[in-house]
């Protein structure tokens, strides 16, 4: 079963605009990661935020984490057509195996 | 592109048959995980191998089995294929102590 849900399921914006995606999860976590997937291919790791962190930046990406609400957001600033992809959050639990539990993803379309 | 490769790229099998999918991990990575991704969904964890032993399994039946070899390459075997096994199968590797996973491009399996 999926750990969490991304919101929205689909998002369409114009180049240059910002895109915000949200993720909710259910159990205690050690860290939360965001991955990107281009049209049914392999996933690419974007950024990791640990459970004791509240915000993290990487280039045009900004991730926030609220463990009290069990939620995270991914902000892509100044989007480009090449950002068109599906974005998934994935959590690793704080006990047991290190396998990731993925959400259902947000499909982002950036119009040129 | 990550250093993880998978073969074959596409595969068509008939219900009841058996299939073997292969993965070559990124150099230096000793942990490999396999995921099943149905169309429009996030990846679902199948199992994980560390140093040739399975050390974690998701909610998949025993007809899903795997192997990891001394060079850290791995196989996913699925017996008695069912129509619902049609999906993109992804392998991912990571190094010791790391959280980020590096995904291969996937094998698209179609069961008819």
Question: What mean pLDDT, rounded, does chain B reach?
Answer: 94
- Chain A residues within an 8 Å CB radius of B101: 43, 45, 100
For residue A99, the chain B residues in CB contact (below 8 A) are 33, 45, 48, 56, 58
Separation between Cα atoms, residue A60 and residue A43, nearest integer Å: 19
Four-residue CA torsion sign, A25, A1, B40, A60: positive
Contacts with A40 from chain B: Cβ below 8 Å: 88, 106, 108
CATH of the domain at A103: 2.60.40.10
Number of folded domains that form chain A: 1
Inspect the interface and report whether the beta carbons of A98 and B58 lie closer than 8 Å: no
Task: Please say whether the beta carbons of B25 and B87 come within 8 A.
Answer: no
Give the least confident one: A53-57, A101-105, A107-111, B11-15.
A101-105
Minimal Cβ distance to A97: which of B2, B55, B94: B55
Domain that holds residue A95: 5-111
Of residues A98 and A64, which shows the higher confidence score? Answer: A64
Pick the residue from chain A with its C-alpha nearest to B38: A40
Whether A91 shows a pLDDT value over 60: the answer reads: yes
pLDDT of B92 above 60: yes
Is the model's pLDDT at A2 over the cut of 60? Answer: no
CA distances from B40 to A8, A22, B28, B76 (A): 14, 17, 32, 22
Q: State how far the Cα of A67 lies from the Cα of B34, in Å rounded to an integer.
A: 28
Cβ pair A42:B106 closer than 8 A = yes
> Do B92 and B103 meet the contact criterion of CB atoms below 8 Å apart?
yes
Q: A3 versus B55: which is more confidently predicted?
A: B55
Cβ separation B99–A92 shorter than 8 A:
yes
Structure confidence at residue A1 as a pLDDT band (50, 70, 90): very low
- Residues B26-48 have a mean pLDDT of 93
Residue A3's pLDDT band (boundaries 50, 70, 90)? low
For chain A, how many residues are written? Answer: 112
Closest of B103, B98, B86, B100 to residue B34, by C-alpha: B103
Distance CA A74, CA A61 (A): 7
Q: CA-CA-CA-CA torsion for B18, B32, A53, A84, nearest 10 degrees?
A: -60
Q: Inter-chain contact A42–B105, Cβ cutoff 8 Å?
A: yes
pLDDT at A41: 85
Q: Which of A10, A3, A34, A7 is nearest to A84 (CA)?
A: A10
Distance CA B81, CA B66 (A): 15
User: What local confidence, expressed as pLDDT, does residue A64 receive?
Assistant: 98
Say what the pLDDT of residue B1 is: 62
CB contact under 8 A, A98 and B99: yes
- B97 pLDDT band, cuts 50/70/90, is confident
| Of B33, B88, B100, Cβ closest to residue A45 | B100
């Amino acid at each position: 079963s999926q750990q969490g849900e991304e919101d929205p399921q689909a998002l369409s914006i114009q180049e240059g605009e910002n895109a915000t995606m949200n993720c909710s999860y259910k159990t205690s976590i050690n860290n939360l990661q965001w991955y990107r997937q281009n049209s049914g291919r392999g996933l690419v790791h974007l950024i990791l935020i640990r459970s004791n962190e509240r915000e993290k930046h990487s280039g045009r990406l900004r991730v926030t984490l609220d463990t009290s609400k069990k939620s995270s957001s991914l902000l892509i600033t100044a989007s480009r057509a090449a950002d068109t992809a599906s974005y998934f959050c994935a959590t690793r639990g704080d006990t047991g195996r290190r396998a990731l539990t993925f959400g259902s993803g947000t499909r982002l379309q950036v119009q040129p | 592109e990550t250093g993880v490769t998978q073969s074959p790229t596409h595969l068509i099998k008939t219900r009841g048959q058996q299939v073997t999918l292969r993965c070559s991990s990124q150099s230096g990575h000793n942990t490999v995980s396999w995921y099943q991704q149905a169309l429009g969904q996030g990846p679902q964890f199948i199992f994980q191998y560390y140093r040739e032993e399975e050390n974690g399994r998701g909610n998949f039946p025993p007809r899903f089995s795997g192997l990891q070899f001394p060079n850290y390459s791995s196989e996913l075997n699925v017996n008695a294929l069912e129509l619902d096994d049609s999906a993109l199968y992804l392998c991912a590797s990571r190094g010791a102590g790391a959280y980020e996973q590096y995904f291969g491009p996937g094998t698209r399996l179609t069961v008819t």
